[in-house]
Amino acid sequence: MNNKVLLVDDDVNILASFARNFKLKYKVVTAQTGKEGIERLKTDGPFAVIIADYFMPGMNGVQFLSLVKQIAPDSERIMFSGQADLKISIDAINEGNIFRFLSKPCPTERLEQILASAVERFRLVTSEREILEQTLKGSVKLLADILSLVSPKIFSYAARLRKMAQKIAERLMANNLWEVELAALFSHIGCVTIPSEIMNKMWAGQPLTKGEMETYVAHANAGKNLLRNIPRLEGIADAIGYQFKQFDGVGYPHDVKKGKAIPFMARILKVVIDYDALIAHGQSPVQALEEMRRRDNWYDTTILSALDAEISSAQTGFVVKALKIEELVIGMVLADDIKDSSGAILIAKGYEITDVLLMRLLVYARLGRVVAPIKVLEQVVSENLGSVGKQPS
Q: What is the pLDDT of residues 195-247, one digit of tens each?
A: 888 988 888 778 889 999 999 999 999 999 988 888 778 899 999 999 999 99
Per-residue pLDDT at 95: 59
Three-state secondary structure call for residue 7: strand
d(CA 61, CA 79): 7
| Domains and their CATH numbers in the chain | 4-128 (3.40.50.2300), 151-311 (1.10.3210.10), 318-379 (3.90.105.10)
Per-residue pLDDT at 291: 93
Per-residue pLDDT at 323: 83
Per-residue pLDDT at 228: 86
Confidence (pTM): 0.57
d(CA 231, CA 77): 27
Per-residue pLDDT at 315: 58
Q: Amino acid letter at 169?
A: A
Question: Residues 356, 360, 365, 368: what is their CA dihedral angle, to the nearest 10 degrees?
Answer: 180
Per-residue pLDDT at 273: 94
- Contacts of residue 341, Cβ cutoff 8 Å, sequence gap at least 6: 368, 369, 370, 371
Per-residue pLDDT at 260: 93
Residues 371-389: tens digit of each pLDDT: 778 888 776 655 554 443 4
d(CA 95, CA 102): 16
Question: Cβ distance 85 to 42 under 8 Å?
Answer: no
Instruction: Tell me which residues of the chain have a pLDDT lower than 50.
Output: 385-393
Per-residue pLDDT at 387: 41
Question: Cβ distance 37 to 66 under 8 Å?
Answer: no
| Helix locations, the chain, DSSP H | 12-22, 34-44, 61-71, 86-96, 108-150, 152-171, 177-185, 196-204, 210-217, 219-227, 234-241, 264-280, 285-294, 301-311, 355-366
Q: What DSSP assignment string belongs to 257-287?
A: --GGGS-HHHHHHHHHHHHHHHHHTT--HHH
